[in-house]
């Protein structure tokens, strides 16, 4: 990439997006960063307060579902790079109402791809459309094995189906229109400033307030947990070194059963609150399992490790300690 870049980040007021925007501004002062976000319930501009002092940063409220809006945005800006994170992302919400997920994750992605294609045309040198996605598009694993870049798609929820569709559209624009793309699929992110609908912040909040700690099914569903700052470091490396048209999987090497995550959070949070060890265990409440609940996710990081020398630096224990400390200080 050339030194000076005009970068559009969609969803930059979301959890991962905010950490990415801050990293770009810190590490690349020659980049002009435009943060486009609709500011839905899961967005939080206060996470970007530190960015307001940067002269190369601008925030714009807008909706990727509105193609005319995107046409106007692209007509007044010449973007070199699109980093697309804007998405509806909560599986439970997608089960209750799948329509916003298709409209944002599928139609919104298509709108963005088409606006990008129309602006760039055949002038694609030093241009890049980077699509950030999830490992949930691959469906579920049994007790063994890991997802790789060659894993077949097998989405099981309206959320993962919408993200799978968006992935396919991005690749279709590469093959059909020669749009320069990169794509990465990540495992479950966690860290400070995540919305309370997600498991880890929800459990922390409920421990503090001595409320029920809901655990789906028998609690044995397993996820690979990736600390958000490790994730955006990997995105940074892929952004600058990835091979056009390729896909990269980013995982945390932290496979944990949901019940073990809850027990770990109880231990850390009770300790930080000065409560007797394990006193919050009585709050655990096993609830009816989520429909179509994927049993296990796990990612093989070999490709990003070999090509970029990346590995997750944050242990699950230290990441949880930082995360709990953040929420206790709100």
The catalytic residue positions are 135-136, 159
Distances (CA, A) of 134 to 281, 285, 307: 31, 28, 20
CA 194 to chain centre: 10
Radius of gyration, CA atoms only, the chain: 20
Asked if 8 and 78 touch (Cβ cutoff 8 Å), the reply is no
Would you list the DSSP string of 166-193? HHHHHHHHHHHH---EEEEEE-EEE-TT
246: left (phi over 0), alpha (psi -120 to 50) or beta: beta
Q: State the Cα–Cα distance between residues 88 and 327, nearest whole angstrom.
A: 23
Q: State the Cα–Cα distance between residues 244 and 238, nearest whole angstrom.
A: 10
Would you list the DSSP string of 108-120? IHHHHHHHHHHHH
């Amino acid at each position: 990439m050339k030194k000076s870049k005009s970068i559009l980040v969609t969803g930059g007021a979301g959890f991962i997006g905010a950490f990415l925007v801050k990293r770009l501004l810190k590490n690349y002062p020659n980049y002009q960063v435009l943060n486009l976000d609709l500011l839905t319930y899961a967005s939080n501009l206060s996470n970007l307060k530190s960015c307001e002092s940067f002269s190369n940063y601008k925030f714009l409220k807008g909706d990727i579902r509105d193609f005319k809006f995107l046409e106007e945005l692209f007509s007044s800006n010449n973007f070199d790079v699109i980093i697309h994170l804007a998405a509806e992302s909560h599986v439970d919400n997608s089960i209750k109402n799948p329509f916003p997920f298709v409209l944002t994750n599928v139609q919104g992605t298509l709108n963005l791809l088409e606006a990008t294609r129309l602006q760039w045309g055949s002038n694609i040198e030093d241009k890049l459309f980077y699509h950030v996605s999830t490992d949930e598009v691959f469906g579920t694993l049994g007790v063994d094995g890991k997802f790789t870049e060659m894993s077949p798609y097998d989405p099981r929820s309206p959320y993962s189906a919408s993200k799978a569709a968006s992935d396919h559209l991005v690749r279709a624009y590469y093959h059909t229109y020669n749009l320069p793309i990169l794509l990465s699929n990540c495992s479950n992110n966690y860290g400070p400033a995540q919305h309370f609908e997600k498991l880890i912040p929800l459990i922390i909040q409920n421990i503090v307030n001595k409320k029920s700690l809901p655990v789906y099914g028998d609690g044995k569903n397993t996820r690979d947990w990736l600390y958000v700052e490790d994730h955006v470091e990997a995105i940074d490396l892929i952004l600058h070194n990835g091979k056009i048209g390729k896909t990269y999987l980013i995982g945390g090497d932290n496979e944990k059963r949901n019940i073990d995550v809850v027990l770990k959070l109880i231990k850390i949070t009770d300790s930080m609150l000065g409560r007797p060890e394990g006193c919050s265990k009585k709050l655990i409440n096993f609830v009816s399992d989520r429909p179509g609940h994927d049993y296990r996710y796990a990612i093989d990081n070999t490709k990003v490790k070999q090509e970029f020398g990346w590995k997750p630096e944050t242990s699950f224990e230290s990441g949880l300690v930082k995360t709990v400390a953040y929420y206790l200080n709100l």
